[in-house]
Amino acid sequence: MQKEYKTLKSVAGPLILVEGVEGVKYEELVEMTTTEGAIRMGRVLEVHNDKALVQMFESTQGITTEGTKAKFLGKPMEIGVSPDMLGRVFSGSGKPIDGGAAVIPEKKLNINGAPLNPYSRDFPNDFYQTGISTIDCLNTLVRGQKLPIFSGAGLPHSRVAAQIARQCKVRGEESNTAVIFAAMGVTFEEAEYFTNEFKKTGAINRSVMFLNTAADPVVERIATPRLALTTAEYLAFEKDMHVLVILTDLTNYCEALREVSAARKEVPGRRGYPGYLYTDLATIYERAGRVKGKKGSITQIPILTMPEDDITHPIPDLTGYITEGQIVLSRDLHREGIYPPVNVLPSLSRLSPTARKVTREDHEGVFGQMYAAFARGLEVRDLAVILGESALSETDLKYLKFAKAFEKRFITQEETEDRSIEETLNLSWELMTMLPKSELKRVKSEFIEKYLPDTKQA
């Protein structure tokens, strides 16, 4: 029997202390009914004898210490999942907001999930072609990977993410795919951009959206990514779908976490974020991957905006320690009008060595060569600023030109341009003609014979 309590002791920020309770469990879901009859959800954060500390997922506005009723539901927060969720839009706490009817759940799942046994994981190795050269060639994405986009305020991360969602595919496979999109604290316009983008391309029919906009309650954001990932796990491992999960913006999520932590008066770690931020983020990011014996997979593309473009800020820092690489966007490139402004040097995909083996024979060498040549080109550019171009050697000048062309032709591409990996690799070879043949040390000579365009003919 569920009991209702009217013994609210205090309300502070998102936290409510209820006294005199009995039989309350940790992580239990709580339903608060205000005097006006509004229902708000929360969960038990701590229970000590007859006192329960409840963290609300919704605003505490209108909650009174007298009159408000707290009902402990005896179960953790769950989401009802069903294949019918595809094509629907939900709020950050999982209620339909597209005007449609409620989804009839096939089953209910605890949104916290359970840790995946590392022994049961299957190593991701299917090359996921995004059609973006800087990702496919240099930071190859693999199905089942978690690869965040490190961005900054005002950079076009949404467009990049939408492009990836639109174009990504495993080639030669008619696959059963779905996109799950979770917005946390983004502006209405940004959320709208994704909705429209998905509608325009018809992708909406195979997507599930969870939207918590900036106007929605802050603490609701703590549940949003978990709702999305629970749905993803259901679709991937029970319905055999390949699910791409886009989470934006993790910075807002972490801030919500900090707010709760501060309200609890916990000892803060760096920059006021709670000491368990790493563990908490891990319970989100680690819900990507493949499971032995299951057909589906979960690929995660979390987006976060680095405060002050600072990659050492706790949020990008801890994220980088958990995810399998990162795509870093650059403000300088963006200012020069280059799209997608991928900052190649600090970007990384940890799973790309396996993926490079299955694309084309020359990929490994091209990857090394393009990377090294561009890095050298940038060094020369720095040198040219100090010494002037006239002081550069002939080879260095070629590198300087290469770097420019790399930015203009390799990095730059249209938002709608879907380059196949062959196109990307051929483009790489074309750019390599700008360098003396003796400098192409990282590609095998047989591939130079085979793929390097003959410059005399051209």
Partner 1 sequence: MKEGKVIKVSGPLVVANGMRDAKMYEVVRVSDEKLMGEIIELDGDEASIQVYEDTSGIGPGENVYRTGMTMSVELGPGLLTSIYDGIQRPLQLIEKVAGAYITRGIDVPGLDHSAKWKFKPLKSKGDTVQGGDIIGEVEETTLINHKIMVPPTIGKATLTDIKSGEYTIDDVVAEVKDEDGKSHELTMLQKWSIRRPRPVNQKTVPKEPLVTGTRILDTLFPIAKGGAGCIPGPFGAGKTVTQQSLAKFCDAQVIVYIGCGERGNEMTDVLMEFPHLKDPNTGEPLMKRTILIANTSNMPVAAREASVYTGITIAEYYRDMGYNVALMADSTSRWAEALREMSGRLEEMPGEEGYPAYLGSKTAEFYERAGYVKCYGSEGREGSVTAIGAVSPPGGDLSEPVTQNTLRVTKVFWGLDAKLAYKRHFPAINWLASYSLYMDNVRDYWKKEVSEEYEPLKIEAMNLLQQEASLAEIVNLVGMDALSPKERLVLETAKSLREDFLFQNAFDYEDAYTPLKKQYWILKCILSVYHEALPLIERENFSFDDFLKLPIMEKVVKAKDIPRDQLEKYEDLYKEIKTAIQAYGSGKASA
- Among positions 109-168, residues that touch partner 1 (CB under 8 A) are 110, 112-124, 144-145
Complex with partner 1: residue 48 or 335, whichever CB lies closer: 48
Tokens representing 275?
Answer: 């000491």
| Residues 391-420 contacting partner 1, CB under 8 A | 391
| Residues 416-445 contacting partner 1, CB under 8 A | none
Find the part of the chain contacting partner 1 (CB under 8 A) among 16-24, 129-137, 171-179, 406-414: 16-24
Are 87 and 235 contacting, i.e. CB atoms less than 8 angstroms apart? no
- AA identity, residue 221: R
Number of residues this chain uses to bind partner 1 (CB under 8 A): 74
Complex with partner 1: residue 4 or 50, whichever CB lies closer: 50
Give the residue, chosen from 3, 20, 23, 437, that forms a contact with partner 1 under the rule CB under 8 A: 23
Query: In whole angstroms, what is the distance from residue 279 CA to residue 275 CA?
Result: 9
Q: How far is the CB of 325 from partner 1 (least distance, A)?
A: 7
Told to check if 348 binds partner 1 by CB under 8 A, we report: yes
Are 31 and 8 contacting, i.e. CB atoms less than 8 angstroms apart? no
Give the residue, chosen from 31, 84, 106, 317, that forms a contact with partner 1 under the rule CB under 8 A: 317
- The DSSP secondary structure of 133-188, one letter per residue, reads HIIIIIS--BTT-B--EEE-TTS-HHHHHHHHHHH-B-TT----EEEEEEEEEE-H
Q: How far is the CB of 170 from partner 1 (least distance, A)?
A: 18
Give the residue, chosen from 6, 13, 33, 76, that forms a contact with partner 1 under the rule CB under 8 A: 76
Q: How far is the CB of 155 from partner 1 (least distance, A)?
A: 20
Told to check if 368 binds partner 1 by CB under 8 A, we report: yes
Give the residue, chosen from 17, 73, 372, 448, that forms a contact with partner 1 under the rule CB under 8 A: 372
Give the residue, chosen from 287, 334, 398, 419, that forms a contact with partner 1 under the rule CB under 8 A: 287
Complex with partner 1: residue 193 or 371, whichever CB lies closer: 371
- AA identity, residue 271: R
Q: How far is the CB of 352 from partner 1 (least distance, A)?
A: 11
Burial of 131 (0-12, 13-18, 19+ CB in 10 A): buried
Q: Is 267 helix (H, G, I), strand (E, B) or coil?
A: coil
Q: Which of 284, 264, 282 is nearest to 223 (CA)?
A: 284
Q: Give the pairing of strands 297-305 and 149-151.
A: parallel
| Residues 172-201 contacting partner 1, CB under 8 A | none
Angle between helices 250-263 and 277-285 in degrees, nearest 10? 140
Q: How far is the CB of 458 from partner 1 (least distance, A)?
A: 28
Tokens representing 115?
Answer: 């840790």
